[in-house]
Homo-oligomer: A and B are copies of this chain.
């Protein structure tokens, strides 16, 4: 068995309630497979601002650096969303930890559980067979470029900027992944308008020469946003910048039936960071309504990517698969055909997965 120290950062909104179940699954698998996991917990986002005034306290960052993997919940609060002039914002915590830990590659697999084909707004025949792995760049772009507001507050700007090495390192990861998957890579940019995209395209074109076994395609972001709905099956590995990746992966969540089903792994220079792609969803926080499966799937990704333990990862996805096959659903993935008695809250769904694990 392995020995690992995990930092749990529940975060804001539904973060704490879903993360409880991700952690429970980690513990369960640890017992079953004889791994030794120790845990610590830390604050980030609105939860941290409330206590320390900072969205990412130094203590959290220190704990993060000292851990082998991080399980994160969600970030954000409506209070700041409606106050565009707020100086301190929860999201700054997430952006800063990504930067500080060098988490430049955000992997977002679009997993399709057959049972959820009906839960999507897309037609089943369009969805069936879809299997996409997104590589979203995570520490550059307009997210981290200089932000300015004029003295009179009438002009605001953000710098969209990329350096060659930033594109190279994430593109390399994406090509390596494509090589052992469907051997197709689609790089998404807006090179017909943006200079940053032209650099992006140049670097990907150059790198593509080293991967002659991978079929490389370049697509404009507007077209990609359209093709993803029109014909998602055409994609295998999708490589894109921070902002475009943010948009495309949320859009792609509809392929999986719900945002509540999608996990992500952020990796790079050090400790891996695992989180659902859904947000803090304050409208349903504390109501036992949130879907814990994305947090549990984040743990499956942790086993696969940070610990290299595929069997454990498969055990988790199989348990979820069985729960879905037996008809259990949270509200977000229920449809007209769902047996009402099998629509579960957060707790009950978390428990179900634990049951199916044993």
Contact = CB atoms under 8 A, between A and B. Distances in A.
A84 B202 contact: yes
B198 A223 contact: no
Contact of A198 (B126, B145, B156, B161): B156
B251 A192 contact: no
A205 B254 CA distance: 29
A193 interface: yes
Contacts of A191: 81, 84
A221 interface: yes
Contacts of A253: 226
Contact of A159 (B95, B160, B165, B249): B160
A162 interface: yes
A232 to B, nearest CB: 8
Contacts of A247: 221-222, 225, 244, 247
Interface string A123-162: 1001000000000000000110101110001111111111
Nearest to A80: B192
A329 interface: no
Contact of A193 (B143, B198, B251): B143
Interface string A84-120: 1100010100010000000000000000000000000
Contact of A195 (B156, B223, B244): B156
Nearest to A221: B247
Contacts of A95: 193
A157 B196 contact: yes
A195 B145 CA distance: 11
Contacts of A248: 225
B161 A157 contact: yes
| Most chain B beta-carbon neighbours within 10 Å: one of A95, A198, A205 | A198
Contact of A254 (B147, B155, B157, B229): B229
A218 interface: yes
A231 interface: yes
Interface string A156-193: 11111111110000000000000000000000001111
A222 B246 contact: yes
Interface of A: 76, 80-82, 84-85, 89, 91, 95, 121-123, 126, 142-143, 145, 147-149, 153-165, 190-202, 205, 218, 220-223, 225-226, 228-231, 243-244, 246-251, 253-254, 259, 279
